[in-house]
Amino acid sequence: MLTDAKNKFQRGLVYLFALLASLGIAPFCVIRYLNGEIVKALVDLAIVVVALSSAAYTYWRGQATQSVSNITALLYSAGSVAVAHLNQPLLVFWLFPALLANFFLLTARTALIANLLTIAAVLPIAIKLENTTEAFAMMSSLLMCGSMAYVFALLTHRQQLLLQGYANQDALTQLGNRRAMDEEMRLSIADFARNQTPVTLIVLDLDFFKMVNDKFGHNIGDIVLVDLANLLSKRVRKTDRVFRFGGEEFVVIARNTPLADALVIAEQLRVQVETELHDPDGTLTASFGCAQLHPDETLEEWFVRADKAVYQAKQQGRNCVVAAD
């Protein structure tokens, strides 16, 4: 899943920043201490300790939490500002990696605000410079770095959303695909385990759809599938989720819905399909199977029961609704 990949990426960033802090800042702790610069050494040491602590906590949790990212971003920003003020104006350049790091650790908007505050915090250093050109160059370079990082973060976020859409969306019908359905089923199972919230799976399969493709071609078949997807999206409740499982098989996850209520929903959908869905020869129908989630049931077992109910509906003459055992 993309969510797993994203979390893995975030964990990698926390580990990377901890490594960079250890290699790039830890030596300064020793150098400054030996030079008698105790306060500066303590600032550097604090940055390293918090970076390593964030990495250790992330490793222990097995995931990168937003709180860890927030603390890490705050640490780097505050640390770079402190270093700049203690060594002004020579070490203002430490702000550049901090400005970039914020866009990796925070949302683009939050990082933009954090960076503006960080840059504002070193404005007194620029004001104290005797040469106006140097002061302007300092602030301008920081603003340019932050601006370019912001644009890059926005473009990256848009690309991420696009890729997520490709990964979780059926290209033809624009409904969620099997990957998205599995994730929603896992969430429903977890919700049932925590709160005993009933949830029912409604699986439907178009009757004799192969004949539509054989007789009129796949272009007409695709139009029928898109029409069915639109019908389902309009007719289900706002709390329900609709997916294309594959071929002519679709799935509705009816949240907070026991089996009896789901059978009513499925019957309404069956009538609407029969009434509103057509191919060039006329009316089309669908067979439905409903299965309410049972305690300690796996995702696969839950779906198999609903799919078997669809098969029973086919055996009973099609265009009907069957409840799973």
As a whole number of angstroms, the distance between CA 176 and CA 168 comes to 6
The single residue listed with the structure tokens 């989630």 is: 293
Q: How many CB atoms lie within 10 A of CB 289?
A: 25
Distances (CA, A) of 204 to 100, 180, 209, 297: 50, 17, 12, 21
Q: What is the Cα Rg of the chain in Å?
A: 29
**In the annotation, is 130 catalytic?**
no
As a whole number of angstroms, the distance between CA 186 and CA 298 comes to 9
Q: Could you say which of 134, 248, 249, 297 is catalytic?
A: 248
CB burial of 204-231 (b: ≥16 within 10 Å; e: otherwise) equals: bbbbebeebbeeeeeeebeebbebbbeb
As a whole number of angstroms, the distance between CA 137 and CA 146 comes to 14
Would the CA dihedral through 185, 191, 192, 194 be positive or negative? Answer: positive
Residue 255's DSSP bridge partners are: 199
**Token output for 204:** 């439907």
As a whole number of angstroms, the distance between CA 14 and CA 157 comes to 19
Cis (ω within 30 of 0) for the bond into 280? no
247: left (phi over 0), alpha (psi -120 to 50) or beta: left
Query: Cα angle at 294 between 62 and 257, to 5 degrees?
Result: 95
Residue 206's DSSP bridge partners are: 286
Active centre residues (catalytic): 248
